[in-house]
Chains A and B, each alone.
Chain A
């Protein structure tokens, strides 16, 4: 397959990801009803919304982890809606950090770190990762279940940074973590943005997300119902609170 030169598709300003009319189903239930959004290279966007609005499903549908899906998902110029899951990460240079963190209990920390296959060049070396997350080096021989929640979360992110993924899908990474760790994660996201990663954050913790994101998409009942620019946030707080309040 002719790979469009990475330099032309991933030039800053051009769409790295465009999702059009994404529909997804689990069995008989229709969960996403036509999601649309775009991402340019180097942007950080959040998907906001209440529990069950379809934010996690949006990420899972992009990866083909739903029973059925339709519409269009283009990453780096490739249409991935019809591809089997295992090819999507390679074509889209996608790194996925699931909500439940997905740390493998039967693997050591180091095995967890080395598990995802290399997708492209430019991934962080193991040394770099241990420099970024010194805690992980200390616990690297323990099994995945015998480390703290914060360490698990860092491991879940660290292992996709090793692969050379450029588009990170991070689902609820601050959930259930102590404020000091949330702060560390915030610094880390800022750092990753500096390094040119493109990031989608599914977040419940709006204060965490608001400082980091270029743009927010509000999802309700499986649809994008609003789009708020990061710079415009102050003026839109009232609107947002209405969306997010129970």
Chain B
């Protein structure tokens, strides 16, 4: 295999690695936007919260409660952190967001933006803004895998596969099951779904909990790759919003596809014209907005 091909494939894998995080985060945003019509600006902060829950479980929780030997590692965190973040999300929905549905959606956006700032501020106060390495990467996922064209960290490969499975399952539940049909119907005509005897407010709370839980899950997965920092969410969320706009607001398939594709494109750009790698997604966003304002997978109306 020639050098160029190897380089392309290698950057492709790294791009895919970023792409799965874009996909998971924009998927959560899409689920929330579809059901609540709220642009959740706190999504990045909740991703950060997920990573911090993992860090706290492994390094801080034990000393805090006086059990120095207690270190909850990666696998428990992979389950606990999304639940914690999801519950936190449901609390936000129940106590704050709920009161804003009858007003312009801009109020929901402002509220979640405020929550993001508060969370970032709180964590910046107590943790190192430059980032803390996550110490509990599982033994079984250390080391590298030989892919033929490159050696690739085993953990990153795991993160890619795991995220793709999560995205596929989410898509499957929403598009192919009865529960998903109820959700889609609730998006389309909540009043009628309610009249049929389905508790729509509870469905909305659970949907928000699920969407924010996905952000928490992405945070845990990101912790061993990037260092855990109070600003990690603010950095990624701008790109994720561009991904959501390109995929189409509220489109499940659009969020997943655009997330993966844009990660890949970002990686490829590094091969061909590295200086544009950080901005290529925004160029694409502008082009998509000009040609298909509702996004590639959005309904054009």
Contact = CB atoms under 8 A, between A and B. Distances in A.
A and B interact: yes
A111 B192 contact: no
Contacts of A90: 197
A86 B198 contact: yes
A86 B184 contact: no
Nearest to B192: A102
A117 B198 CA distance: 7
Contact of A85 (B181, B185, B189, B194): B194
A86 B181 contact: no
Interface in B172-210: 178, 181-182, 184-185, 187-189, 191-200
A65 B197 contact: no
A117 B192 contact: no
Interface in A99-129: 102, 104-107, 111, 114-117, 119
Contacts of B197: 86-90, 116-117, 119, 163
A105 B188 contact: yes
Contact of A65 (B178, B195, B198): B195
A31 interface: no
A111 B181 contact: yes
A50 to B, nearest CB: 25
A85 B195 contact: yes
Given A86-B200, A111-B181, A115-B181, A104 B195 contact: no
Contacts of B192: 96, 98, 102
Contact of B184 (A87, A106, A114): A106
Prevailing SS type, chain A contact patch: loop
B196 A104 contact: no
Contact of B196 (A105, A107, A117): A117
A: contact size bracket: 20 to 34
A156 to B, nearest CB: 10
A115 B189 CA distance: 12
B199 A106 contact: no
Interface residues of B, number: 18
A80 B118 CA distance: 43
Nearest to A110: B181
Nearest to A106: B184
A86 B184 CA distance: 17
A63 interface: yes
Nearest to A98: B192
A115 B195 contact: no
Interface in B15-73: none
Contacts of A85: 191, 194-195
Given A86-B200, A114-B178, A114-B181, A104 B194 contact: no
A119 B185 CA distance: 18
Contact of A106 (B187, B191, B198): B187
A96 B181 contact: no
A10 B56 CA distance: 60
A104 B188 contact: yes
Nearest to B177: A111
B184 A104 contact: yes
Contacts of A88: 195, 197
B195 A63 contact: yes
Contacts of A102: 189, 192
A218 B196 CA distance: 27
| Residue from A87, A115, A160 with most neighbouring chain B CB atoms (10 Å) | A115
| Residue from B181, B182, B197, B199 with most neighbouring chain A CB atoms (10 Å) | B197
Interface in A147-192: 160, 163
Given A98-B192, A102-B189, A107 B198 contact: no
Contacts of B191: 65, 85
B185 A107 contact: yes
B189 A116 contact: no
A119 B198 CA distance: 10
Nearest to B176: A111
A96 B200 CA distance: 17
A148 to B, nearest CB: 20
Nearest to A101: B192
| Residue from A86, A87, A98, A119 with most neighbouring chain B CB atoms (10 Å) | A86
Nearest to A116: B196
A96 B189 CA distance: 14
Contact of A104 (B178, B189, B199, B200): B189
Given A111-B181, A114-B181, A115-B181, A96 B188 contact: no
19 contacts: A85-B194, A86-B195, A86-B198, A86-B200, A87-B197, A89-B195, A89-B197, A96-B192, A96-B195, A102-B192, A106-B184, A106-B187, A111-B178, A114-B178, A114-B181, A115-B181, A115-B182, A115-B196, A117-B198
Nearest 3 A/B pairs, CB to CB: A89-B197, A116-B196, A111-B181
